[in-house]
Structure 1
């Protein structure tokens, strides 16, 4: 059996404008699936981080969704877990 390795997702938000910068987003939902099955799901902490262990391999799908009261976009991407995996996901304001 393959030993699980760390997966770290950092969720940021950028509202744009003159002084635009990425800031950590607490309360975003992070879902990780593989072959249609949920491997892990949780919420980012105050630093915008979500950490979990996962088996190395390909075909993982990462989906980040803001809290319902946050008018932000969602983000999805496919990834492969090697010795570890780190991702920074930046959400932007959604259009009304």
Structure 2
């Protein structure tokens, strides 16, 4: 234990290096740079989301799909498209 106490007293007796006085400013500058990068990332994600939304709306309006015509389904209809006999029939 004496060696540790002796080493700590010797360390306390040494003068504080001058470059350690500026370490706070460097840490705060790094934190500010990180905060700016995070803000830019969230803005880019918002921009990407808006672009995807606009692209989806444009592609949806430009799609030339005619609406599907509803066919009445009845289990007793002779031309039922979902009857097992028509589903298993091979159309060549």
Shorter-normalised TM range: under 0.3
TM-score normalised over the length of structure 1: 0.14
Structure showing the higher strand proportion among its residues: 1
Relative contact order, higher structure (CA 8 A, sep 6+): 1
TM-score normalised over the length of structure 2: 0.15
Whichever of the two has the greater Rg, that structure is: 2
